[in-house]
Amino acid sequence: MSETAVLPISIVAALIPTSLYVLLIYWVDRYEKEPWWLLVATFLWGAIPSILIAFVFNSILSIPFFLFTDETTGMALAASLIAPPVEETVKGLAVLGIFLFWRDEIDSILDGIIYGAMVGMGFALVENVYYFVNVYQELGQPAWQANIFIRGVIFGLNHALFTAMTGLGIAIGRMSTSNLVKFGAPLTGWMVSMLLHFIHNATVSLGILLCGITLLADWGGVLITLIIILWAVLQERQWLRTYLVDEVSQGTLTQAQYEIAISGRRRSAHHLNLLLNFQLRKYQRSRRFFHHCSELAYKKHHHSLFADAASRQQAATLRQQLIDLG
C-alpha cells in the first residue's frame, strides 16, 4: 500500500465501525428519537473541539512525566493519569451543555447514555484515524491492520462507554427529586468514566499480561450499560402505557393509536407498511404523531415527579398537537 493511500484508507477503516456503532446507539432509542441536529452537534463536539482541547491539555500536563522519566514510562504515566481526567472532562462538557441549555431533551436516563455515547463515538473516530496512520508509519502494514481490528472492533465502543457514564450520571440527576442525587449522580458518573478510562489505558500500557483485565473492564462495562439500556427502554414503555391510557378516554388517542404508541415493534411495522405503500406524507405525519405520544407521556411523568407548571403546559401543548395530527 502506498504512503498516500494510508490516510484515506485509515479514514474509511475508522468510519465503517463508527457508523455501525452510531446506528446501533440511535436504534436503541425506541420511543422518542433525540433531535438529529443535537446528536450531530454532540458527535461533532467529540470529533473536533474535544480532540483539539484534549490534545493541548494532555501535552502540557504530561510534560513533567517526560522530564523526569524515560519516554516509555512517561507515555504510560501520561496515558494512565492525564488522559482519562482530561478527555472525560472535555467530552462530558457536551452532555453538560445539553443539560444546561436543552434540558428538556433529557427525558430519561437513556437520553443521557445516548448523548454521552455519541460524543464518545465522535472522539473515537478522529483518535482512531490518528493512531492508524501513526502505527503504519512506525511499524508497517501488518501492525496497521492489527491496530484497525483492535481499536475499531475489540475496543470500538470504549469512548462511547466512558462518556455514557457521565451522561448517565447527568440524566439520573436530572430525573431525581433529591438534591443529593442531583449533585452527586453527575459527579459519580464523571468519576466512573475516568475510572474505566484509567483502567483501560493503564492495563494496555503495562502490556499483554494484563490484557484480560482490559477486556473484562471494557466489555464488562459495555454489558452493564446494555443492561441499563434495556431496563431504561422497558421503563419508558411502562411510562407510555401508564400515562397514555387516560388519553384514550379523553379522546386524544383512539384505542388503535394507543396500541401502536406503546409498542416499539408495532410502531416499526406501521411505519414500514406506510413506506412500502409509498405513503410518504402519511409516514412523516405518523412519525411526528407517535413521537409526540412519547413526549406527552414523558412530560406527564416529569410532572408527576416535580409538579411543575412548565411540564404541565408542555403536556397540554402536545395533547393539542396530537389532536390536530390525529
Q: What is the pLDDT of residues 19-37, one digit of tens each?
A: 999 999 999 998 989 999 9
Q: How far is CA 117 from CA 39, 81, 101, 232, in A?
A: 10, 22, 19, 15
Residue 61 pLDDT > 60: yes
pLDDT in the model for residue 99: 95
Q: What is the pLDDT of residue 72?
A: 85
Tens of pLDDT, residues 89-130: 999 999 999 999 999 999 999 999 999 999 999 999 999 999
Kindly state the helix (H) or strand (E) to which residue 172 belongs, with its residue range.
helix 158-175
For residue 244, report the phi and psi dihedrals to the nearest 5 degrees. -100, -15
pLDDT for 272 beyond 60: yes
Residue 217 has pLDDT above 90, yes or no: no
- Confidence check: pLDDT of 326 > 90: no
Mean pLDDT in the chain?
92
Q: Are 254 and 326 in contact (CB under 8 A)?
A: yes
User: What is the arithmetic mean of pLDDT over 137-162?
Assistant: 91
Backbone torsions φ then ψ of 252, nearest 5 degrees? -70, -40
Please tell me the distance from the alpha carbon of residue 110 to that of residue 105, in angstroms, as a whole number. 11
What's the confidence (pLDDT) of residue 200?
92
pLDDT at 69 over 60: yes
Query: Does residue 178 register a pLDDT over 70?
Result: yes
pLDDT category at 325 given cuts 50, 70, 90 is confident
Share above pLDDT 70 across residues of the chain, in percent, rounded to a whole number: 98
Judge whether residue 152 has pLDDT over 80. yes
Q: Report whether pLDDT(44) > 60.
A: yes
Residue 208 pLDDT greater than 60, yes or no? no
Residue 106 to residues 31, 44, 47: CA-CA distances in angstroms? 13, 19, 22
Selection from 246, 256, 314, 316 nearest residue 290 by Cα? 256
Position 147: which residue type?
N
Confidence of residue 5 (pLDDT cuts 50, 70, 90): confident
Give the integer Cα–Cα distance in Å for 85 and 189: 12
- One-letter identity of residue 255: Q
Number of helices and strands (H, E) in the chain? 14, 0
CA 285 – CA 267 distance, rounded (Å): 13
CA 195 remoteness from chain centre: 18
Q: pLDDT confidence of 209, banded at 50, 70, 90?
A: low
Of the two residues 44 and 72, the one the predictor is more confident about is 44
CA atoms within 13 A on the CB side of 315: 18
Predicted confidence at residue 210, as pLDDT, reads: 59
> Which grid cell is 256?
388503535
Separation of CA 287 from chain center = 22
pLDDT at 304 over 70: yes
